Chains A and B, each alone.
Chain A
Amino acid sequence: MSEITLYSEEIQWSDKPMTWQEAIAFSAGPLLDAGKVEPSYIEAMIQNIHDLGPYILIAPHVALPHARPEAGVNEAGVSVAVLQQGAAFPEAGHTGDNEAQIFICLAAVDSESHLHLLRTISTWIEDSQVIEKLRRAGSADEVRTILFDVQKQKGDDEK
């Protein structure tokens, strides 16, 4: 499994404070630069949160920005951005978990690629220790190493 390719340039880290909108656009940057998504896709991801609330928070401190393929996806992809300072979302949930430091931007073209990407992302975040490691990362290189180690380890477990 996990034959999804997360290219090094699709992993980013920043120490700049950002609003949640800026964080979503930042996380999608590599997909936009590579022509995998259109600017309209980023607008759709942000609009969905205005409409539906911060439902993209999939784990403590982890957000999964995404929209429908027809909003402007040319090629399936995923990009990861880790922020040193959490970006706060509107409408805190009951638990008060309304900030995210890890943004995993998801662009799918069909349900098969979508499921495959989701399964891979699940392996990254199912372990809260990995989330903690990512939050403490101090550079894109560190983020890269953490994610590649998880994928390698999961790959070994499957053998």
Chain B
Amino acid sequence: MKILCVCGMGFGSSLMLKMTAEKVIQKKGVTADVEAVDIGTAESVKADLILTNSEFASQLAGGSAVVKAIKNMASEAEVEQAVTEFLESN
């Protein structure tokens, strides 16, 4: 599966989110490719799951990827819940 972490520049919070997501998928034993991108690029990248803040989540909703809004980019618990919800619904 492909997880896309999105922020304004693909440089700050999305990278932090990527680190958190990588810890989570390793812990869960899931094979996934995690990429951090900026909002401008996000719509042209194919992904199964998009993790981002609530503002960008509403902008990115409606595409083929499942979009989950994350409040604390460093929270393993929050990202794990999002990934688990995604895996259970797919």
Q: Chain A interface (Cβ within 8 Å of chain B)? A: 48, 52-60, 62, 64, 66-68, 91, 93-95, 97, 106, 114-115, 118-119, 121-126, 128
Number of interface residues of B (CB under 8 A): 24
Determine whether the beta carbon of A122 is less than 8 Å from that of B39.
Answer: no
Question: Which of chain B's residues have a CB closer than 8 A to the CB of A118?
Answer: 12, 15-16, 19
Q: Chain B interface (Cβ within 8 Å of chain A)? A: 7-9, 11-13, 15-16, 19-20, 39, 53-58, 69, 71-76
User: Which 10 pairs, one residue from A and one from B, show the smallest C-beta to C-beta distance?
Assistant: A55-B8, A59-B72, A52-B8, A122-B74, A126-B74, A93-B54, A94-B54, A93-B55, A58-B73, A58-B13
Q: Say which residue of A48, A57, A121 sits within 8 Å of B9 (CB atoms).
A: A48
Determine whether the beta carbon of B39 is less than 8 Å from that of A66.
Answer: no
Closest to B20 in A: A122
Cα A26 to Cα B15 with chains together (Å): 25
Closest to A131 in B: B72
Q: Say which residue of B9, B56, B57, B76 sits within 8 Å of A126 (CB atoms).
A: B76
Question: Which of chain B's residues have a CB closer than 8 A to the CB of A67?
Answer: 9
Distance from B72 Cβ to chain A, minimum over Cβ atoms (Å): 4
Cα A52 to Cα B20 with chains together (Å): 23
Distance from B85 Cβ to chain A, minimum over Cβ atoms (Å): 17
Determine whether the beta carbon of B9 is less than 8 Å from that of A52.
Answer: yes
Determine whether the beta carbon of B8 is less than 8 Å from that of A59.
Answer: no
Interface centre among B12, B15, B57, B71 (most CB of A within 10 A): B12
Question: Which of chain A's residues have a CB closer than 8 A to the CB of B71?
Answer: 59-60, 95, 97
Cα A53 to Cα B6 with chains together (Å): 13
Pick 26 A–B contacts, CB within 8 A, sort by A.
A55-B9, A55-B53, A56-B12, A56-B13, A59-B71, A59-B75, A64-B12, A66-B11, A66-B12, A93-B54, A93-B55, A94-B54, A94-B55, A94-B57, A95-B54, A95-B69, A95-B71, A97-B54, A119-B19, A121-B16, A121-B74, A122-B20, A122-B73, A122-B74, A125-B72, A128-B72
